[in-house]
Structure 1
Amino acid sequence: MFTYTSASADIAPAAPGAVATGMRFTFLVASALILFALAVVALVGRAAPPSDT
């Protein structure tokens, strides 16, 4: 993910702006995945009532 958005195969020669863009996009994707996981848990938790076992 980082390599794709920073347009550099190696972090050492990458420009600071490219590194910043890669980090921002990586954290954006991670945040979206966390929000998606929380939404799934919230929906599944409401859909399935607790069992009495």
Structure 2
Amino acid sequence: MKKMIWHPEEKDKEVNQYLEKANHAPYVGIWALMLLLITGFTVLVLMGSV
């Protein structure tokens, strides 16, 4: 049976750099959506539509 010891490979560095650039949560979009929903709800309440 082959030993389960991981040794870094040459391509791992490139893959890690790609993942650092690509895998990020869209915090700005989430923040903007929350702000839009809160503002929209507040405007509707102040206008008396809700």
Return the TM-score normalized by structure 2: 0.53
Could you tell me how far apart the structure 1 residues matched to 2:39 and 2:48 are?
14
Higher relative contact order (CA 8 A, sep 6+): 1
Structure 2, unaligned runs of 5 or more: 1-14
Return the TM-score normalized by structure 1: 0.50
Structure 1, unaligned runs of 5 or more: 1-12
CA-atom RMSD, angstroms? Answer: 2.3
Q: 1:37 to 1:15 in 2, by over 3 A?
A: same
Runs of 4+ residues over 3 Å off in structure 1? none
Pairs aligned (count): 34
Within 5 A, what are the aligned runs for 1:1-53? 13=15, 14-16=18-20, 18-19=21-22, 22-23=23-24, 26-48=26-48
- Report which of the two structures shows the higher radius of gyration computed on alpha carbons: 2
